[in-house]
Amino acid sequence: MKALTLSRPAPVDSAPLQLEDLPIPAPQDNEVLVRVEACGICRTDLHVVEGELPPQVPHIVPGHQVVGIVDRCGPRARRFRPGDRVGIAWLRYTCGECRSCRQGKENLCPHARFSGWHENGGYAEYAVVREDFAYAIPPALGVATATPLLCAGIIGYRALRRAEVRPGCRLGLYGFGSSAHIAIQVARHLGCTVYVMTRDLPHRALACELGAAWAGAADDTPPEKLDSAILFAPAGDLVLPALEALDQGGTLALAGIYLSDIPSLNYERHLFREKNLRSVTANTRADGEELLRIAAEIPIRPRTISYPLADANRALQDLKHDRIQGSGVLVVA
């Protein structure tokens, strides 16, 4: 099978992914083999490729927003049948036995493993996954539009919950990439007034097109105090203006897996009057199931730009340099 592999982290502008021929993986007892139709690109992939997330294995196929068709089932896999359309997301294994798993917080499992980081992901013609970590893709969702829901969408949805977003609230989004452009659709469905702060003018235009009441520069002050805010940009210096924009009792959720250093906080300006600062760590499978159900009901329609599988380096370069409005998707012929 054709696959893009990373042997050593390097700046994405140096095109570090190599197109190779690899054996088609064989599904183990409780796994399914998926013929990949499309795989979304994600800023987390960029962190893996460039080494901001340290390598876990010496030779990896990135990708964790995979939509495809079940090709073959392992001997004891019973959940899906060949021909079913499924998704593979970032979280691909938890122990099920630790304190976090027993409390329903499997996203915090210390033994968790992730697609495209610990084990080969979806920048390939085939991928395997344990059947209990695969997602059934609702028929209402198209192949390309479903891919960004499997990470950008799920993380955005969890971030909305961590930020205590409720119907009709005032929400601020800092950064407006793949995840934010899905989260705004959920927030507007809830009747929220959404303000967007992002450095890129085309992204501001897309935000307004998707229902933002106002869009400004990344560190601008929104027109009114916020009940909730989410920082999607991996820029720690934006934590301070985001906290200052919160109303008393407001909550800021940090949605990235990677964030540059946060400057020193001033207690009275940034945290006093019961402001809350929370992080978001991966997701549970329940988050994914809920988001896919809601996405089919609203319906959420991610904006996507397609690339051939072999152009994964170019796609990640476009992502890094903010040349993608919405979500980039690798389409596997």
pLDDT in tens, 178-217: 999 999 999 999 999 999 999 999 999 999 999 999 999 9
Q: Is the pLDDT of residue 22 over 90?
A: yes
Q: Which residues are CB-neighbours of 128 under 8 A, at least 6 positions away?
A: 25, 26, 27, 28, 31, 32, 33, 34, 120
Q: Cβ(126)–Cβ(36) under 8 Å? A: yes
Q: How confident is the model at residue 72 (pLDDT cuts 50, 70, 90)?
A: very high
Q: Is the pLDDT of residue 111 over 80?
A: yes
Average confidence (pLDDT) over 88-115 = 97
Fold exhibited by the domain 2-150+282-331: Quinone Oxidoreductase; Chain A, domain 1 (3.90.180)
Average confidence (pLDDT) over 38-67 = 96
Q: Cβ(106)–Cβ(113) under 8 Å? A: no
The pLDDT > 90 percentage for the chain reads: 98
Q: Is the pLDDT of residue 50 over 80?
A: yes
Q: Which residues are CB-neighbours of 55 under 8 A, at least 6 positions away?
A: 8, 9, 48
pLDDT, tens digit, 9 for 90 and up, residues 228-242: 999 999 999 999 999
- Taking residue 196's Cβ as centre, other Cβ atoms within 10 Å add up to 29
Q: How confident is the model at residue 244 (pLDDT cuts 50, 70, 90)?
A: very high
Beta strands 170-174 and 226-231, pairing class: parallel
Q: How confident is the model at residue 171 (pLDDT cuts 50, 70, 90)?
A: very high
Give domain limits for the chain: 2-150+282-331, 154-279
Q: Which residues of 67-102 are buried (b: 16+ CB within 10 A; e: fewer)?
A: bbbbbbbbeebeebeeebbbbbbbbbbbeeebebbe
| 243 exposure class (CB count in 10 Å sphere: 0-12, 13-18, 19+) | buried
Fold match flag (2-150+282-331 vs 154-279) = no
Q: How confident is the model at residue 333 (pLDDT cuts 50, 70, 90)?
A: confident
Q: Which residues are CB-neighbours of 187 under 8 A, at least 6 positions away?
A: 160, 165, 171, 194
**Top CATH class, 154-279:** alpha beta
Average confidence (pLDDT) over 307-325 = 96
